Chains A and B, each alone.
Chain A
Amino acid sequence: SAVISQKPSRDICQRGTSLTIQCQVDSQVTMMFWYRQQPGQSLTLIATANQGSEATYESGFVIDKFPISRPNLTFSTLTVSNMSPEDSSIYLCSTLLAGSLSHNGYTFGSGTRLTVV
């Protein structure tokens, strides 16, 4: 399976600012997913990012608030824009290996714990 390096692991940010989270994968992956895990809640999918195309956002998430880049098959960023305390969550990236439709192909980053003050 792929290995993901996600950073930063945690950050404390001022409201109104933006934070960019990076995920670097050690192999080429077809799909990358960005999730949010609010305190006491399950993981909620924010968007799916495929290389070479616009990210697909889930209901309740918009590109202006969570712009995503996917410049190549091993890297993606998620930006949390104009932050408010309600954005305090853990953000995780996940990948599905290129050419793999196997359910074993999902790999997760270690997460970014964001606190907005």
Chain B
Amino acid sequence: GDSVTQMEGPVTLSEEAFLTINCTYTATGYPSLFWYVQYPGEGLQLLLKATKADDKGSNKGFEATYRKETTSFHLEKGSVQVSDSAVYFCALLYSGAGSYQLTFGKGTKLSVIP
């Protein structure tokens, strides 16, 4: 079945450091890929998405590129801020007929210290 593997946390970075959170997937067909973010005490929010190979999703300084050849969708940010402290989830949606189920990774907790 479909699955998502993302790097284990927690990750602790100093402000303005470079961030990479690795995500790889296995899926039949051609899934859409997502990064969700969960700030403390809040629900999951869509951060960015990519729906086909070589697409780059970007939002709030975060980027991720859909790499079909390596089945990866790594999240990057050039300079993190304290406000980026949250749990980040990689997810996929198989674009098969009638399929609306998101498959999530385990989540990576990011803490950014001043």
- Using a CB–CB distance below 8 Å, which chain A residues touch chain B? 4, 6, 9, 31, 33, 40-43, 45, 48, 92, 94, 96, 103-104, 106-111
Contacts and interface: CB of A to CB of B under 8 A. Distances in A.
A42 B105 contact: yes
Nearest to B42: A110
Contact of A103 (B43, B45, B93, B107): B93
Assign chain B's interface to a size class.
Answer: 20 to 34
Interface string B32-49: 101010000111111001
Given A103-B32, A103-B51, A92 B43 contact: yes
Interface stretch (B14-22, B61-69, B72-80, B96-104): B96-104
B46 A6 contact: no
A106 B43 contact: no
A10 B38 CA distance: 16
A6 B41 CA distance: 12
Contacts of B41: 9, 110
B110 interface: no
Query: 4 smallest A-B Cβ distances: which pairs?
Result: A108-B44, A108-B43, A43-B104, A110-B43
A39 B89 CA distance: 14
B101 A48 contact: yes
Contacts of B49: 103-104
A107 B93 CA distance: 14
Contacts of A110: 41-43
Given A42-B4, A96-B100, A107 B43 contact: yes
